[in-house]
Amino acid sequence: MKIKEIESTTHEKVLLCEDPQSGLEAIIAIHNTRLGNSLGGCRMYPYSSREEALNDVLKLSESMTYKAAIAGLNVGGGKAVIIGHPKNKTPELLRSFGRFVHDLQGEYVTAEDVGTSVNDMTYIAEETPFVCGMGNTENSLGDPSPYTAYGVLQGIRAAVSHKMNRDSLQGIRVSVLGIGHVGYHLCHMLLKEGAQLFIADIVQEKITRFIEEAKKTYSQDVSIQAKTVDELIALDVDVFSPCAMGGILNESTVKKLQAKIVAGAANNQLASNSIDQLLFDKGILYAPDYVINGGGLISVHQEYFNQNVEPNSIFNYVKTIYSSLMNIFELSQQQQKPTAQIANALAESRFSRESVS
């Protein structure tokens, strides 16, 4: 195994690991540890190049710094990416990644993310204690996705209350892009609230399976329709909820958007910082991604640092995402500034201070 540092002017530490024996090629990026050692998921994705993987892990780890700060957690921002298709995962590759994590001696704590699972974390844990979000182990809360989805639900409630002056989601038209770990749970939660759902995913099987399951679980006339990705983006709905990969909000897609609200689980939804202003100018209320999707981080943080924590206490903590977003929405309205600018300033006021003891 070879580990080498990649120079960075924006991050505290960026490391590349190559292990030909297991096939591992991975990058760990630590953005900021003013509030504590870094915590963030491990993503596995078939990047087209190492440069693409590096750009992704740098953005994701920076977002984790902001996510932890805005959630009131005393941890820093870190992230890992494994270059490769998830179908090519092996126990040997995951154990090798565990040794890579262990080499940092706690500076970075890992968890599941896109392309990895709670079961994968158990292989990683064979090599390092610096891992959380595992399945079927003592003190483990398991998959953090339901907590992330619950936080997004709270964020949608806050946005609907602020923008539409409605306390109920009954009859609210919501389009969800991506029926993965989080999108799946979010769709179930929205249906239970009486929302009208429109869904899309690049994997058609996920759509078919979810609709069949929803009709069996609720009723045959449950309000859910399948759309293509392009159709979904342009739909006249109350809420557009991106729950897939990042960068979905760009100049082209914002022009097509007819939703009143954007509130979803995806990381790094804005293709560039200027997109927040475009949404604001168009009168679309944007729930900053790292605020609304903080439930997963809250769950793995509580699992790792507070042993024997109960799921109910996690859900209660995640509920605070509602009030955090209401505060951001109100400040945005008062100051006539985009919501992401407001959220960034609030987060930076925490992690830009002196280190927390």
Do 249 and 208 fall into the same domain?
yes
Q: SS3 for 40-98, per residue?
A: EEEEEECCCCHHHHHHHHHHHHHHHHHHHHHCCCCCEEEEEEEECCHHHCCHHHHHHHH
Nearest residue to 72 (alpha-carbon basis) of 260, 347, 319: 347
Give pLDDT, residue 355. 46
In a domain, 355, yes or no: no
Tell me the C-alpha distance between 142 and 132, whole Å. Answer: 9
Q: Are residues 45 and 9 in the same domain?
A: yes
Question: What does the pLDDT read at residue 356?
Answer: 44
Q: Is residue 120 part of a domain?
A: yes
The CA-CA-CA angle for residues 310, 108, 287, to 5°, reads 65
Closest CA to 250 of 228, 270, 280, 232: 270
Question: Do 198 and 240 share a structural domain?
Answer: yes
| Residues near 334 by beta carbon (within 8 Å), at least 6 away in sequence | none
The CATH number linked to 204 is: 3.40.50.720
Q: What is the pTM of this model?
A: 0.91
Tell me, yes or no, whether 207 and 120 share the same domain.
Answer: no
pLDDT in tens, the chain (357 residues): 999 999 999 999 999 999 999 999 999 999 999 999 999 999 999 999 999 999 999 999 999 999 999 999 999 999 999 999 999 999 999 999 999 999 999 999 999 998 999 999 999 999 999 999 876 556 667 788 999 999 999 999 999 999 999 999 999 999 999 999 899 999 999 999 999 999 999 999 999 999 999 999 988 778 999 999 999 999 999 999 999 988 999 999 999 999 999 999 999 999 998 999 999 999 999 999 999 999 999 999 998 888 778 889 999 999 999 999 999 999 999 999 999 999 999 999 999 864 443
Is the residue at 299 inside a domain?
A: no
Angle between helices 295-305 and 145-164 (to 10 degrees): 140
Asked, for residue 110, whether it belongs to a domain, the answer is: yes
Task: Give pLDDT, residue 293.
Answer: 97
Say whether both 119 and 150 belong to one domain. no
How far is Cα 13 from Cα 28, in angstroms, rounded to an integer?
Answer: 8
Neighbours of 354 (CB within 10 A): 6
Which run of H or E residues covers position 255? Answer: helix 251-256
CATH code at position 98: 3.40.50.10860
- Per-residue model confidence (pLDDT) at position 357: 39
Q: Which residues are catalytic?
A: 79
What is the total count of domains within the chain? 2
Parent domain of 280: 145-293+322-349
